[in-house]
Amino acid sequence: MFELDVATRHIKSRRRQTLFSIIAVSLAVGIIIIFMSMMSGYTSILIDSTTENQAHITVMPKEDEDYIHLYHGLENHIYTLEGVEGVSSYFQSEAALQYQHNAEGVLLYGINPEDENRVVNREKYMLAGKFASIENPGSRIILGFKLAKNLDVEMGDTVTAQIPGAESTDFTITGIFQTGTPVDETMAFVNLERLQDIYGSGDVITGMGIKLSDAYAAEDLANGIDRETGYDAISWMEQNAEILTLLETSEDMVYFFYIIIFGISGFGVANVLIMIVMEKVGEIGMLMAMGTSRRSIMLIFLLEAAILGMSGVIIGCILGYAASAAIASITIPVPPEMYFGMDHLPIEIELKNFISAGIFAMVINIIAGVFPARRASKMDPVEAIYSV
Amino acid sequence: MSDKYIIQIKNLTKIFGDGVEIKALDGINLDIERGEFLAIIGPSGSGKSTLLNQIGILDTPTSGTILLNGVDVTEMSDKQRSKTRNKQLGFIFQYHHLLPDFNALENVMMPLLISGVKSSKAREIARRVLDEVGLGDRMDHRPNQLSGGQNQRVAIARALVNKPSIVIGDEPTGNLDSKASENIYELLRKLNREHNQTFILVTHDERMAAKTDRIIRLVDGRVAENSINSG
Separation between Cα atoms, residue B170 and residue B159, nearest integer Å? 12
In sequence order, the β-bridge partners of residue B22 are B16
- For chain A, percent of residues with pLDDT exceeding 90: 62
Mean pLDDT, range B39-60, rounded to an integer: 92
Q: Which of A5, A13, A286 sits opposite B97 (nearest CB)?
A: A286
Q: Is the model's pLDDT at A131 over the cut of 90?
A: yes
Mean pLDDT, range A347-354, rounded to an integer: 90
Q: Which residues of B touch A380 (CB under 8 A)?
A: 59
pLDDT at B204: 84
Cβ–Cβ below 8 Å for A290 and B158:
yes
Q: Which residues of B touch A287 (CB under 8 A)?
A: 99, 110, 114
Q: Which residues of B touch A383 (CB under 8 A)?
A: none
The answer to whether A289 faces chain B, any CB pair under 8 Å, is: yes
Helix (H) or strand (E) holding B125: helix B119-132
Mean pLDDT, range A352-366, rounded to an integer: 92
Cβ–Cβ below 8 Å for A290 and B114:
yes
Q: Residues B50-97: pLDDT tens digits?
A: 999 999 999 999 999 999 999 999 989 999 999 999 999 999 998 999
The answer to whether A15 faces chain B, any CB pair under 8 Å, is: no
SS (H, E, C) chain A: CHHHHHHHHHHHHCHHHHHHHHHHHHHHHHHHHHHHHHHHHHHHHHHHHHHHHCCCEEEECCCCCCCECCHHHHHHHHHCCCCEEEEEEEEEEEEEEEECCEEEEEEEEEECHHHHHHHCCCHHHEEEECHHHHCCCCCEEEEEHHHHHHHCCCCCCEEEEECCCCCCEEEEEEEEECCCCCHHHHEEEEEHHHHHHHHCCCCCECEEEEEECCHHHHHHHHHHHHHHHCCEEEEHHHHCHHHHHHHHHHHHHHHHHHHHHHHHHHHHHHHHHHHHHHHCHHHHHHHHHCCCCHHHHHHHHHHHHHHHHHHHHHHHHHHHHHHHHHHHCCECCCCHHHHCCCCECCCCCCHHHHHHHHHHHHHHHHHHHHHHHHHHHCCCHHHHHHCC
In sequence order, the β-bridge partners of residue A88 are A209
Q: Which residues of B touch A5 (CB under 8 A)?
A: 106, 113
At residue A58, what are phi and psi to the nearest 5 degrees? -115, 125
Mean pLDDT, range A31-48, rounded to an integer: 87
Q: Give all strands of the β-sheet with B22-33 in edge-to-edge order.
A: B22-33, B5-16, B63-68, B71-72
Q: Which of B83, B93, B158 sits opposite A385 (nearest CB)?
A: B93
Cβ–Cβ below 8 Å for B114 and A5:
no
Cβ–Cβ below 8 Å for B85 and A291:
yes
Which tops the pLDDT comparison, A336 or B135?
Answer: B135
Mean pLDDT, range A357-363, rounded to an integer: 91
Task: With cut-offs at 50, 70 and 90, classify the pLDDT of residue A249.
Answer: confident
Q: Which residues of B touch A386 (CB under 8 A)?
A: 49
Name the average pLDDT for chain A: 89
- The 3-state DSSP class for residue B88 equals helix
Q: What angle do CA B54, B57, B59 make, to 5 degrees?
A: 65
Q: Which residues of A touch B158 (CB under 8 A)?
A: 290
Separation between Cα atoms, residue A18 and residue A8, nearest integer Å? 11
- For chain A, percent of residues with pLDDT exceeding 70: 96
Helix (H) or strand (E) holding B80: helix B78-88
* Chain centre distance of CA B180: 18
Q: Which residues of A touch B93 (CB under 8 A)?
A: 286, 385
Residue A304: closest CA among A332, A263, A273: A273
Q: Is the model's pLDDT at A342 over the cut of 60?
A: no
Give the distance from residue B53's alpha carbon to the nearest chain A alpha carbon, in angstroms: 7
Separation between Cα atoms, residue B83 and residue B81, nearest integer Å? 5
The answer to whether A283 faces chain B, any CB pair under 8 Å, is: yes
pLDDT at B17: 82
Task: With cut-offs at 50, 70 and 90, classify the pLDDT of residue A341.
Answer: low
Q: Residues A281-327: pLDDT tens digits?
A: 999 999 999 999 999 999 999 999 999 999 999 999 999 999 999 98
Residue A266: closest CA among A362, A378, A351: A362
Give the distance from residue A21's alpha carbon to the nearest chain B alpha carbon, in angstroms: 20
pLDDT at B187: 87
Q: Which of A12, A285, A388 sits opposite B101 (nearest CB)?
A: A12
Q: What angle do CA B12, B40, B212 make, to 5 degrees?
A: 135
Cβ–Cβ below 8 Å for A291 and B91:
no
Q: Which of A10, A282, A381 sits opposite B58 (nearest CB)?
A: A381
Separation between Cα atoms, residue B210 and residue B157, nearest integer Å? 24
**For residue B171, what is the nearest residue in chain A, using CA coordinates?**
A386
Which tops the pLDDT comparison, A300 or B175?
Answer: A300
Separation between Cα atoms, residue A82 and residue A70, nearest integer Å? 22
Mean pLDDT, range A81-110, rounded to an integer: 93
Question: Which of the residues A18, A290, A377 would you substitute to probe the B interface, choosing the one with the greatest number of B C-beta atoms within 10 Å?
Answer: A290
| Distance between start and end Cα atoms, chain A | 27
Q: Which of A62-71, A294-303, B181-190 has the highest mean pLDDT?
A: A294-303
In sequence order, the β-bridge partners of residue A106 are A95
pLDDT at B229: 80
B71-72 and B63-68 strand pairing:
antiparallel
Given a contact cutoff of 8 angstroms between Cβ atoms, the answer to whether B167 and B197 are in contact is yes
Q: Is the model's pLDDT at A357 over the cut of 50?
A: yes
> What is the amino acid identity at position B39?
A
**For residue A378, what is the nearest residue in chain B, using CA coordinates?**
B78
Between A294-328 and A281-289, two packed helices, what is the crossing angle to 10 degrees? 130
Q: Is the model's pLDDT at A25 over the cut of 70?
A: yes
Q: Residues A174-230: pLDDT tens digits?
A: 999 998 888 899 999 999 999 999 988 889 999 999 999 988 899 999 999 999 888
CA-CA-CA-CA dihedral for B111, B181, B45, B201, to nearest 10 = -50
Separation between Cα atoms, residue B42 and residue B217, nearest integer Å? 5
Give the distance from residue B107's alpha carbon to the nearest chain A alpha carbon, in angstroms: 10
Cβ–Cβ below 8 Å for B56 and A289:
yes
Give the distance from residue A367's alpha carbon to the nearest chain B alpha carbon, in angstroms: 24
Give the distance from residue B25's alpha carbon to the nearest chain A alpha carbon, in angstroms: 16
Give the distance from residue B69's alpha carbon to the nearest chain A alpha carbon, in angstroms: 17
Residue B42: closest CA among B221, B228, B217: B217
Task: With cut-offs at 50, 70 and 90, classify the pLDDT of residue B218.
Answer: very high
Q: Is the model's pLDDT at A64 over the cut of 90?
A: no
Task: With cut-offs at 50, 70 and 90, classify the pLDDT of residue B211.
Answer: confident
Cβ–Cβ below 8 Å for A9 and B99:
yes
Q: Which of B79, B83, B97 sits opposite A385 (nearest CB)?
A: B97
**For residue A282, what is the nearest residue in chain B, using CA coordinates?**
B97
Q: Which residues of B touch A378 (CB under 8 A)?
A: none
Within 13 Å of residue B145, how many CA atoms lie on the same side as its CB? 11
> What is the amino acid identity at position A383?
E
A187-191 and A102-111 strand pairing:
parallel
Cβ–Cβ below 8 Å for B110 and A290:
yes
In sequence order, the β-bridge partners of residue B63 are B13
Residue A26: closest CA among A349, A310, A326: A310
pLDDT at A334: 62
Question: Which of the residues B99, B102, B112 would you substitute to probe the A interface, choosing the one with the greatest number of A C-beta atoms within 10 Å?
Answer: B99
Task: With cut-offs at 50, 70 and 90, classify the pLDDT of residue A6.
Answer: very high
Between B148-160 and B104-114, two packed helices, what is the crossing angle to 10 degrees? 20
Q: Residues B132-174: pLDDT tens digits?
A: 888 989 999 999 999 988 999 999 999 999 999 999 999 888 8
**Helix-, strand-, coil-residue percentages of chain B, each rounded to 5:** 40, 30, 35
Q: Which residues of A touch B99 (CB under 8 A)?
A: 6, 9, 283, 286-287
Q: How far is CA B126 from CA A301, B108, B117, B163, in A?
A: 26, 6, 11, 11
ipTM: 0.91
In sequence order, the β-bridge partners of residue B10 are B65
pLDDT at A190: 95
The answer to whether A206 faces chain B, any CB pair under 8 Å, is: no
Mean pLDDT, range B88-109, rounded to an integer: 94
What is the number of other CB atoms lying within 10 angstroms of the CB of residue B121? 11
Q: Is the pTM of this model over 0.90?
A: no
- Cβ burial of B116 (10 Å; 0-12, 13-18, 19+) is exposed
pLDDT at A319: 95
Q: Which of A9, A282, A380 sits opposite B102 (nearest CB)?
A: A9
Separation between Cα atoms, residue B221 and residue B14, nearest integer Å? 9
pLDDT at B1: 43
Between A351-377 and A241-279, two packed helices, what is the crossing angle to 10 degrees? 30
Given a contact cutoff of 8 angstroms between Cβ atoms, the answer to whether A142 and A222 are in contact is no
Cβ–Cβ below 8 Å for B113 and A2:
yes
Cβ–Cβ below 8 Å for A385 and B102:
no
pLDDT at A5: 92
Mean pLDDT, range B107-127, rounded to an integer: 95
Separation between Cα atoms, residue A137 and residue A9, nearest integer Å? 83
Q: How far is CA A68 from CA A80, A138, A203, A363, B214, in A?
A: 19, 23, 9, 55, 110
Separation between Cα atoms, residue A125 and residue A91, nearest integer Å? 21
